[in-house]
Structure 1
Amino acid sequence: MAAESAGLGLGQAVALLAAGVVAVPLFRKAGLGSVLGYLAAGLAIGPFGIGVVDDPVAILHVAELGVVLFLFLIGLEMRPSRLWAMRGAIFGLGVVQVLTCGALLSGVALLGGLPPAAAMIGAMGFVLSSTAVIMQMLEERGEIATPGGQRAVAVLLLEDLAIVPLLALVAVLASLAGTATGEQRPAWLAIGLGLGSIALLVAAGRWLLNPMFRILAQSGAREVMTAAALLVVLGAALFLQWGGLSMAMGAFLAGVLLSESTFRHQLEADVEPFRGILLGLFFLSVGMSLDLAVVAAEWRLVAAGVIAFMLVKAIGIYGVARLFGADHREAWKRAALFAQGGEFAFVLYTAALTAGIFDARTGAAMAAIVILSMALTPLLAMAAERMLPPPEAESLDGVEAPVNLAGRVLIIGFGRFAQLVSQPLLLRGCDVSLIDPDVEMIQAAGQFGFKVYYGDGTRLDVLRASGAETAEAILVCVDKPEVTDRIVALCKSEFPLAKLYVRAFDRGHVLRLVQAGVDYQIRETLESALVFSRATLVGLGVEESEADELVADVRRRDEQRLEEQIVGGITAGRSFIRGNMETPQPTPLARPSREARPLSVETADLLDRAAAREGA
């Protein structure tokens, strides 16, 4: 029996992975985004699909860790000073949006026939938008660092905080209605525990975390550092959950507290692989949780609820956004993104069901409405984007947007790669225009004498304002291959006269860029790796002239391998790679001009065998 259970568990794991691997690329290829792909895959293999997985709730509890890890990584990007600068948006815009939409949706629920207490809780649960869906979509579009993206993050943070008073509200309403079951915390105690847990977590972050990571780093145990990173994230999440807050808020605060730590990048690298897998699993489990039997039995109620709740909430969000100074485009996009319910609704509805505010029918119908709204969000956001007029350039915190720039060279993306690329051009006196969507980087670059404009290179209007139409050369130096590909396609289509020089990520990316017809591409690590290898050879006693010849030989091999790959695909040209296994190895394309000095007996033996093969 144990073996059978283990086999079933392994089969479910394979099914989950297969569903995600098949569905997500297809949906992204169709422009529908990965979130909808995961939801559809979950529905297909769940208990209401083909039934490969019969307990989505158990998987959901594990998969919620993906949201937790995601919020931790977002927190790492939010330094306390930056978070403090957003306090107006969090406690101003966020509070007004939650209260306005809550009041509007409560009215809708009352008109739908729900009792007052159930209507209020149902509405407030739907007000809490899905942090996972919205953040994933913002990340895929590269909009988290934009002004609109930052305001969206502020609203999401307030909604996460709102779960505390809302859970307390469930207890109060249950007590007033006489439906309370079991022991209920008084409202003042719930709020006090929440604030106290935040204070304790902040204290631990300020005085305990950095010393702990410093001690662990000195031990030299790499796996212990990874375990410690997960311990901090999950421990903070669990601690705030004990205090009545959400796990996501605990993870976010842990990230903020470590955002200025010297171990920040190490923590990010340790947590990232777990975040991606678990977040995908979360969306799969949400898709599996959609009870098609409830939808079929209550289809009129569910359909009316989805349409009414999403429409009214979108109207409320749009109005609040315009009230706080957002233009039509930003308000429209925010309304489309936030029009759904989210994962915190399940927490609130479960509490309402336990307290007797919801009956089983209401709870199942409300959960179905939330899940369907989450599934419709990517489609709604896509439709909203297509209905919008061309965007206007944005600016934030005094950072200028490009307007009628006319540099001879346009550099898109000004990270560490582009900063070095710009130096010879500036020394030669070339007129260079620089754009980047990262506000913090722009402000930091300004301290070193660089004038960088705020702009997203994937937007045609930004490229025009940045002078792409008149630039002789456009240098694409962003660090995400998918973003690079979009910029390249746009530039080739709209600015065919400009020479296109592009930073490539790896060989596969190089092949895509060659097929796209760029004028020049280079893998970001190629030259630095060759220089590094040459220094190693010289350090091992190889004469500099010979080291230069070996590096030149590798460069020639790489070029010839790339030529074969362009024709035969990524697996072609293997004969130009020298491996370290005991198999026939390629010989140099050009013999060194002087006799090589062997590094070891093994190296001499390899050279003798290579010479024998060449003679043959």
Structure 2
Amino acid sequence: MAEHASLLHDGFLLLGFALVFVLLFRRLGLGATLGYLVAGAVIGPQVLGLVGGAEQKLGIAELGITLLLFLVGLELNPSRLWRMKRDILGLGLLQVTACGLAVAVMIGLTTEFSWAAALALGLPLALSSTAQVLPMLQSAGRLRTPFGERAFAILLFQDLSIIPLITIIAAMSRNPADAGGPPGWLLAFYTIGALVGLIAAGRFIIRPLFRLIGNLGEREMFVVAALFTVMASAAVMEALGLSTALGAFVAGVMLADSPYRHELEADVEPFRSILLGLFFLAVGMMLNLQAIADRPLFVISMAIGLITIKAGIVFLIALAFRMPWRGALALGLLLSQGGEFGFVLFAQAQQAMLIAPDAASLFGAVVTLSMATTPFLMMATRRFRQEAEVTKGTRAGPQPDGASAIIVGFGRFGQGVSQMLLASNIPVTMVDTDIEMIDVAASFGAKVYFGDGTRLDLLRQAGAGDAEMIFFCIDGDQITPEFVEAVHNAFPAAAIYIRAYDRRALIQLKGTPANAVVREVLESAVRMARIALGDAGISEEAINRAEDMFRAHDRERLKLQVEAGDVRAARDRIITEPQAAPG
């Protein structure tokens, strides 16, 4: 009973403090990770002393790292990787290698750490904060721009580099327990055998299991099966004396191109978020604040050195990849901070007896301080970036309401679609993430629910399982062929209609299960031209002939572009000169 009461007491305090500090730090634009770290430090034994047992909580919370690497593996869809291969293997590899070695040299030359310790500290500091950078790119509306794609490619390679970095630290270990383990060649053999076994299990056991669950319609069993897949893969690797993170990562990769990828992401994400938050709370509780207070100048100077080195190296690498200097500078500043995986690798280095606990606390503080500078560095790059204002708030999630149609995106396009459907007496559920738009719609009497309609779990909550039609009326290229396949597999009875931003999106979505993909401005452009030609005195017959010619050329060009997979194909079908009327 006492242990049960203690668990409830600790959970109540941890979640309460996390809620307050994360909301505060989000409001200040400093990111959730810093909020968790500060909350852990405040509630821990060195400040208020309200919660203890950080080491035990850290052991449980490390499951969050395992789930995070599983989700990273799920992102590695082969077609996406192939498209971004140059930036991932070029920019990413150069950034991690050059920044890691440069920071290690700085630590080795300016401190009394051994070169092995300097390397164990410098390599983790090369990694940036995915949890902080990606929300910044999203809020600025730049995630799917060339700038955002390159930043994402670097972050993706950094996530992939966790496994080799853990291996490097293990190879340098001074821990007698590690030294007494199996020889390196045997570990390599175990690793290859485990990887082959996991991939085979994924193809012949896990995928059929998910197919069975999907056919049975057991929604909650997807969660059980997803967590089982992660835990089983990690347990196999642990039993062989290998990295549990590697097992979870491989589990994600082997399911990345499966039709269940989006469902798995939606199911695992809540567990990942909670456990990762607990991980950072535990790290904050374990920070030696006295060691930091005794050497504040060391922490500040190291943070400045880290930011300067990383920003400078990323800037030069980006220039070498022919980015404009303004964008290269913005990219360097954006990725100049240390990241959350630094705490994971510092813990590995501490277990390997390469660094002392006080050193882990000091460099944990360096990472924290560098992360706190990122929002201010982003302000300094404002003229290089167009930042979109985002109004934050909380709204109720979508409810089914017996709707026969779901509309994702309530901008000008979605509004027109919804009014046509409602005028035809078809019930509609409307979903959007723009708080301001939701409030404006409410002032006109329209009910729009808050939510990300590109999440399968949210679509299901909105009633997609019973809907006859699903409309995606959102901006940009957020709807990918893989996502359309996933929606069709999850809700086979619903017809899918998609608003295409331009020809590129139309070409990309050809061949998907979508019932129709409509270019958003085509008909309005034709309509305007018809009005203008009529005002110019052109006969109705000539106007119809011009429209028929344009549409025929456009259809033929689009067909050739789809076949070639290249938007530049069939350029000779573009009408660029005045056309004489047929004789």
- The alignment's TM-score, normalised by the length of structure 2, stands at 0.62
Q: Using a 3 Å threshold, how does the CA distance of structure 1 residues 329 and 17 change in structure 2: closer, same or farther?
A: farther
CA shift, 1:292, in A, is 0.4
Q: Which of residues 321, 327, 331 in structure 1 aligns to 2:328?
A: 331
Q: Using a 3 Å threshold, how does the CA distance of structure 1 residues 164 and 283 change in structure 2: closer, same or farther?
A: closer
1:162 has 2:156 as partner: no
1:523 has 2:448 as partner: yes
CA shift, 1:199, in A, is 3.8
1:313 has 2:310 as partner: yes
Q: Using a 3 Å threshold, how does the CA distance of structure 1 residues 144 and 277 change in structure 2: closer, same or farther?
A: farther
Aligned to 1:290: 287
- Provide the aligned C-alpha RMSD in A: 4.2
CA shift, 1:82, in A, is 0.9
Q: Which of residues 199, 215, 231 in structure 1 aligns to 2:212?
A: 215
Q: Kindly provide the amino acid, as one letter, of the partner of residue 254 in structure 1.
A: A
Deviations 1:213-259 (A, max 9, x none): 12234455444332111112333344456677755554444344334
Aligned to 1:59: 57
1:301 has 2:298 as partner: yes
Deviations 1:314-334 (A, max 9, x none): 322232233223344543444
Aligned to 1:457: none
Q: Which of residues 28, 31, 52 in structure 2 aligns to 1:30?
A: 28
1:386 has 2:379 as partner: yes
Q: Kindly provide the amino acid, as one letter, of the partner of residue 277 in structure 2.
A: G
Q: Using a 3 Å threshold, how does the CA distance of structure 1 residues 244 and 383 change in structure 2: closer, same or farther?
A: farther
1:275 has 2:303 as partner: no
SS of aligned partner of 2:281: helix
Q: Kindly provide the amino acid, as one letter, of the partner of residue 66 in structure 1.
A: G
CA shift, 1:19, in A, is 0.8
Structure 2 unaligned regions, length at least 5: 388-406, 421-428, 451-460, 469-583
1:258 has 2:255 as partner: yes
Q: Using a 3 Å threshold, how does the CA distance of structure 1 residues 171 and 82 change in structure 2: closer, same or farther?
A: closer
1:460-499 matches, cutoff 5 A:
481=433, 484-485=434-435, 488=436
CA shift, 1:16, in A, is 0.9
CA–CA distance in 1 between the matches of 2:208 and 2:220?
Answer: 18
Q: Using a 3 Å threshold, how does the CA distance of structure 1 residues 273 and 345 change in structure 2: closer, same or farther?
A: closer
Aligned to 1:365: 359
Q: Using a 3 Å threshold, how does the CA distance of structure 1 residues 161 and 255 change in structure 2: closer, same or farther?
A: closer
Contact residue 233 and residue 251 of structure 1 kept, 8 A: yes
CA–CA distance in 1 between the matches of 2:75 and 2:133?
Answer: 17
CA–CA distance in 2 between the matches of 1:350 and 1:26?
Answer: 27
Q: Kindly provide the amino acid, as one letter, of the partner of residue 267 in structure 1.
A: L
CA–CA distance in 2 between the matches of 1:513 and 1:137?
Answer: 27
Q: Using a 3 Å threshold, how does the CA distance of structure 1 residues 186 and 389 change in structure 2: closer, same or farther?
A: same
CA–CA distance in 2 between the matches of 1:249 and 1:94?
Answer: 19
CA–CA distance in 1 between the matches of 2:242 and 2:87?
Answer: 21
Q: Using a 3 Å threshold, how does the CA distance of structure 1 residues 5 and 327 change in structure 2: closer, same or farther?
A: farther
Structure 1 unaligned regions, length at least 5: 395-413, 427-476, 489-501, 505-509, 536-616
Aligned to 2:499: none
Q: Which of residues 95, 98, 103 in structure 2 aligns to 1:97?
A: 95
Q: Kindly provide the amino acid, as one letter, of the partner of residue 286 in structure 2.
A: S
Deviations 1:165-219 (A, max 9, x none): 44444455468xx999632555555455445444433333333322111223445
Q: Which of residues 37, 40, 52 in structure 2 aligns to 1:39?
A: 37
SS of aligned partner of 2:161: helix
Task: State the number of aligned residues.
Answer: 430
CA–CA distance in 1 between the matches of 2:178 and 2:260?
Answer: 46
Deviations 1:530-563 (A, max 9, x none): 999999xxxxxxxxxxxxxxxxxxxxxxxxxxxx
Contact residue 31 and residue 132 of structure 2 kept, 8 A: no
Q: Using a 3 Å threshold, how does the CA distance of structure 1 residues 154 and 259 change in structure 2: closer, same or farther?
A: same
CA–CA distance in 2 between the matches of 1:270 and 1:353?
Answer: 33
Q: Using a 3 Å threshold, how does the CA distance of structure 1 residues 263 and 346 change in structure 2: closer, same or farther?
A: closer
Contact residue 213 and residue 263 of structure 1 kept, 8 A: yes
Aligned to 2:115: 116
- The alignment's TM-score, normalised by the length of structure 1, stands at 0.59
Q: Which has the larger radius of gyration?
A: 1
